[in-house]
Structure 1
C-alpha cells in the first residue's frame, strides 16, 4: 500500500492551487477545471485539491487519504471486518482504476484504489 495523495476539499479551489504552487513550489500534474480537480506534485508527495461548492455541506472528513493498493478486493475484505456500518461497493472509473471509499473512526475519508487495464 502506498500513500498516493492527501486530498483537501475546498470552496477556495483556485486560490488554494495558486497558494500551493506559489508558496510550496508544487507543480500541477493534472488539472480539470470542469471537474474541480487538481493534482499537485511536490518532491516525493502529492496533494489533490477538490472543489467544494459553496452550498455543498461539509461532512465530518477534515482530510482524505488516497491510497494505491495492489489488490483492492483483498484490502476491502480485511477492512470490512473493522467497519461499524455497511460499506459502499467498489466503483470502476473511466480513467482506469477501481476505487473504494471508507472512513476511519474519526470520519476522515479513505479512498483506496487500484489501477486496472482499460478495454
Structure 2
C-alpha cells in the first residue's frame, strides 16, 4: 500500500491552487476546472484539491487519504474487520480505476484505489 495523495476539500479552490503552487513550489500535474479537481505534485508527495460546492454540506472530515494498492479486494478484506459501519462495494471510477472508500475512527475519508489494465 502506498500513500498516493492527501486530499483537501475546499470552497477556495483557485486560491488554494495558487497558494500551494507559489508558496510550496508544487507543480500542477492534473487540473480540471470543470470537475473542480487539481492534483499537485511536490518532491515525493502529492496533494489533491477538490472543490467543495457552496451548497454542499461540509462534513467533519478534515482530510482524505488516497491510497494506491496492488489488489483492492485483498486490501478491503483486510480492513473490513476494523470498520465501524457496514462496508460499501468496490466501484469502477469514470477515470478507469477501481475504488473503495471508508473512514477512519475520527471520520476522515480513506479512499483506496487500484489502477487496472486498459484493453
Q: Could you tell me the TM-score, scaled by structure 2's length?
A: 0.97
Q: Distance in 2 between matches of 1:53 and 1:90?
A: 25
- Gaps spanning 5+ residues in structure 2: where? none
Residues 15-54 of structure 1: matches in 2 within 5 Å? 15-54=15-54
- Segments of 5+ residues of structure 1 without an aligned counterpart are none
Aligned to 2:99, the other structure's residue is in SS state strand
Residues 15-36 of structure 1: CA deviation (Å, up to 9, x unaligned): 0000000000100000001100
**1:85 is matched with which residue?**
85
Q: Residue by residue, what CA displacement relative to the aligned partner does 1:37-80 show, whole Å, maximum 9, x if unpaired?
A: 00000000000000001121111210000000001001101111
How many Å apart are 1:87 and its aligned residue?
1.3
Counterpart mapping for 1:35-114 below 5 A: 35-114=35-114
Instruction: Pick which of 81-90 and 25-34 moved more.
Output: 81-90
Runs of 4+ in 1 over 4 A off after TM superposition: none
Q: CA deviation at 1:94?
A: 3.0
Cα distance in 2 for residues equivalent to 1:47 and 1:80: 26
Q: CA RMSD in A?
A: 0.8
Instruction: Give the TM-score of the pair, scaled to structure 1.
Output: 0.97
Partner of 2:9: 9
